[in-house]
Chain A
């Protein structure tokens, strides 16, 4: 049994038309329920629900406080390598982009780890492009041996693997997986990923399940907002998260919500995602999946992140750099994309404390 069988039931349906069909009465009824179905979730992301944003925000605030408390967990990304065999139209690491390509040596990983951990962070997300011939599993395992000395939790955002591949990395100390489907619109996906291993839509769709199956403690999924209509992609993301939650109850399922940002390339997203849209999807997810983690990265602006901290978000990156070696080398210009919230970890902590939100640096360690 895989999520694909559920996906198949919906992929030929005009999901957007169904979502658009909900009226205000339907939304009000859903807000009265304590347990929501995927149809109820659809009502909450419908245009009619825009008139209920304040009620949704209040409900999301209450649920977040009950299940996660007044806290935000902090982490930061570390880019290990930007070599990539894919030609994703929207990505700065696209194989055809003429940028400086790097892969950190193990000494550089050590230096980068020292620099990041000096900020107090204990959760790290390591990233690579899709080039297993360069950023290979043995290379990643060697990196983990170093990272374990500095961090309590290591998550990966790398090329999709099968269960065996993930199990190998778990054995080396990895406990979290982040993998974006980018878009659940299969035909659009094929256009956006014209060549390279990432072109395989189904392999990518199955990868979060493989991660959970292998024993990842956290699995984070999400779309890249702006590629397709956000309502469609968020519908499928929530459906996917719900399926993973039901089939892998021992795994923490999270949703990350990155919006397209300026990057080193010419692709322009066709779909605009406004701040209001973001608030609607964040609060709807929180109400539909009360225990699900929600991550907002430094792609978002300082002011927007400040305003949504209490609306259901549970994790935020801080002090982010999106280039290889970005925490130790200021001369590097190979960013995957531009970040917007440029606050340091210290500044972020200061702000959270001012807002009476506890920054959580450590939430797990391999015992």
Chain B
């Protein structure tokens, strides 16, 4: 299959890129339009806690190109109710109905709270939101989220901001195999090869922020991630050749058995 015939449909939209990007941690928000361009990404997440719609100073929203699909997130929420309030405020301020649910009650490891996330997801889907919950890759939580009406599942590859790569690969494989929703790997992907690895494994998309925003050249790093994600996706679609523990000799020792045997 050619990449051009491989659109990604999620949350009622058809996307041409499988790389979702973020808005946090940049040295300046003015870099955001350039990163949007170099990545070719269609989706950008923004922490509503950081947005000041009445700002007399710079406002991150001013730097997001109008063609980008906004995915506000509930960063800072410590329970389902806070997440729901943030989501509703996001929609009321014109950010649309996509919402990434982040409920984190542990500021040391920043691991998402699956129970609170599922509660918020259920409330918000009933309220007409397209909910993208950020979770630990846990099959039971993911099933709860499917039942709650999530439009995709966003498991972490490693704790957020660590850049440690696809540490949860085995668990993500299980979600890819058993959950009938798009799997978008979020958090922990520190370099393009990590994202490529996730896509080769069959993930539908990746969200990358820290590794792009804190690199020395975010515009170039953004492009590198976009290329890696496309390479991983192509590899997945092509179907990788089988691997073996043994070498396959071009002159097999048992070749004689097939020669002229009758």
Contact = CB atoms under 8 A, between A and B. Distances in A.
Task: Give the secondary structure class of A's interface.
Answer: loop
B154 to A, nearest CB: 20
Nearest to B210: A66
Interface stretch (B20-28, B38-46, B141-149, B198-206): B20-28
Interface string A113-136: 000001010100000000000000
B76 A364 contact: yes
Interface residues of A, number: 32
Contacts of A267: none
B12 to A, nearest CB: 25
B26 A365 contact: no
A362 B29 contact: no
B66 interface: no
Interface string A344-367: 000001000100111111111101
Contacts of A139: none
Given A69-B214, A70-B27, A356-B28, A367 B82 contact: yes
B56 interface: yes
A67 interface: yes
Interface string B188-204: 00000000000000000
Contacts of B107: 245, 249-253, 291
Given A250-B106, A367-B89, A71 B25 contact: yes
Contacts of B82: 367
Contacts of A159: none
Interface in B18-71: 24-29, 48-52, 55-57
A68 B161 CA distance: 8
Contacts of A68: 25
A118 B86 CA distance: 26
A353 B25 contact: no
B13 interface: no
Contacts of B110: 291
B26 A358 contact: yes
Interface in A152-177: 152
Contacts of A291: 107-108, 110
Interface in B205-238: 210, 213-214
Given A249-B108, A362-B55, A69 B49 contact: no
Contacts of B163: 66
Contacts of A363: 49-50, 76
A122 B28 CA distance: 18
A246 B161 CA distance: 19
Instruction: Give the interface residue-count category, chain B.
Output: 20 to 34
Contact of B108 (A245, A349, A361): A245
Nearest to B106: A249
A365 B214 contact: no
Contacts of A251: 107
A70 B163 CA distance: 16
A88 B198 CA distance: 59
Contacts of B105: 249-250
Contacts of A362: 49-52, 55
Interface string A252-269: 110000000000000000
A254 to B, nearest CB: 11
Highest count of chain B CB atoms <10 Å: which of A66, A70, A359: A66
Contacts of B28: 353, 356, 358
A122 B51 CA distance: 11
A120 B24 contact: no
A246 B77 CA distance: 19
Given A245-B107, A291-B108, A358 B29 contact: yes
A286 to B, nearest CB: 14
A351 to B, nearest CB: 13
Contacts of B77: 367
B78 interface: yes
Contact of B25 (A69, A365, A367): A69
Contacts of A360: 50
A65 B57 contact: no
Contacts of A118: 56
A174 B27 CA distance: 29
Nearest to A152: B52
Interface string A179-216: 00000000000000000000000000000000000000
B110 to A, nearest CB: 7
B85 A367 contact: yes
A251 B104 CA distance: 11
Interface in A23-37: none
Interface in B71-100: 76-78, 82, 85-86, 89
B86 A361 contact: no
Given A66-B214, A250-B107, A120 B50 contact: no
B49 A120 contact: no
Contacts of A357: 27
A246 B49 CA distance: 24
Nearest to B110: A291
Given A363-B76, A364-B49, 14 more contacts: A66-B210, A69-B213, A70-B213, A71-B27, A152-B52, A250-B106, A250-B107, A252-B107, A357-B27, A358-B26, A362-B51, A364-B76, A367-B48, A367-B82
Interface of A: 65-71, 118, 120, 122, 152, 245-246, 249-253, 291, 349, 353, 356-365, 367
25 contacts: A66-B163, A66-B214, A69-B213, A70-B26, A70-B213, A118-B56, A120-B55, A245-B107, A246-B108, A250-B106, A251-B107, A291-B107, A291-B108, A356-B28, A357-B27, A358-B27, A359-B57, A361-B55, A362-B50, A362-B55, A363-B49, A365-B49, A367-B82, A367-B85, A367-B89
Q: Which 3 A-B pairs have the closest CB atoms?
A: A69-B25, A70-B27, A356-B27
